[in-house]
Amino acid sequence: MGRAPCCDKANVKRGPWSPEEDETLRTYLHKHGTIAGNWISLPHKAGLKRCGKSCRLRWLNYLRPNIKHGGFTPEEDNIIYTLYQTLGSRWSVIASQLHGRTDNDVKNYWNTKLKKKVLLHQIPSPSPPLPSPPPPPTFTSNMKAEPVETDSLIHCYGFSVAPTMASSSSVTMENGSSNSISSSLVHWPNEEEDVAVLLAEFGFGSSLNDLLTGYGFSQVN
DNA sequence: AAAAAGCACAACCGCCTATAT
DNA sequence: TATATAGGCGGTTGTGCTTTT
């Protein structure tokens, strides 16, 4: 049995949002907030003939305050390119490092413009090519993290990055052998959200310093 | 001026994950 | 522990605008 659809597609409006619908959604969310109730029931409560997912997307990508559209700066180009090289197409993580940008915006920008710029070498390569990450391990037990504080500043592609907490964990493989995984919460300067995925995903079997060095970071004392 | 092609971006689709029951 | 459900995400498509022929 497949998953039940999130809404009755025959009875919801699709396609571009009208200014009236935008205003209805904006007014409702200003009054009730985005966490009151849930997105699925929101359209009915707000009086919209839309799928809840569509409302969520419209709010997050267009109506939310402080959203920036278009006009990406060269600095933003570099950030996107750098993070794309490191993380791949993890647009939500990349967008979280750019104030006011949405994952959809960054994704569209990459697919329509930035990718071509890179092919035409209009974006300077910021560092030697990154090594291929090892394949992700398969876990058979829960990880136990042991936080290790580190206060070293690290430089990468022109960014100063401070790993606020490194952790090493013991993991048992399917074949019974054990190994360790290093991860770090990386805080981008002037950003509220940490990039926890940067090292955790690829860090299997290496120390934190080995990882950082391997990915083009150089330590600054 | 009209048609075709290209482009930008909003929106949808379906899968995966987290969480509640 | 299993199942159902909502949220979140990345890939893809649709649509309208602009540029080219």
- CA/C1' separation A58–C9 (Å): 15
Architecture per CATH, A11-63: Orthogonal Bundle (1.10)
Q: Measuring from the CA of residue A106 to each C1' atom, give the nucleotide at the shortest distance.
A: B9
Whether the domain at A11-63 and the domain at A74-119 fall into the same CATH topology: yes
Q: What's residue A122's pLDDT? A: 67
Token representation of residue A154:
């690290």
Q: What is the pLDDT of residue A30?
A: 85
- Listed as ranges, residues in chain A with pLDDT below 50 are 1-3, 127-221
Distance in angstroms (rounded) separating the CA atoms of residues A179 and A203:
11
pLDDT at A152 (0 to 100)? 38
Residues 36-75 (A) near nucleic chain C, CB < 7 A: 38-40, 52-53, 56-57
Domain ranges of chain A: 11-63, 74-119, 144-220
What is the spatial distance, in angstroms and rounded to an integer, between the CA atom of A54 and the C1' atom of B11?
8
Given the candidates 3.40.50.1950, 1.10.10.60, 1.10.730.10, 1.10.132.10, the CATH classification of the domain at A74-119 is: 1.10.10.60
Q: What is the pLDDT of residue A135?
A: 39
Question: Helix count (H) and strand count (E) of chain A?
Answer: 9, 6
Nucleotides of C under 7 A from a protein CB: 4-12, 14-16
Residue with CA nearest B7 C1'?
Answer: A112
pLDDT value at position A40? 85
- Integer Cα distance of A115 and A130 in angstroms: 18
- Classify each residue of A114-142 as buried b or exposed e, where b means 16 or more C-beta atoms within 10 Å of its C-beta: beeebeeeebeeeeeeeeeeeeeeeeeee
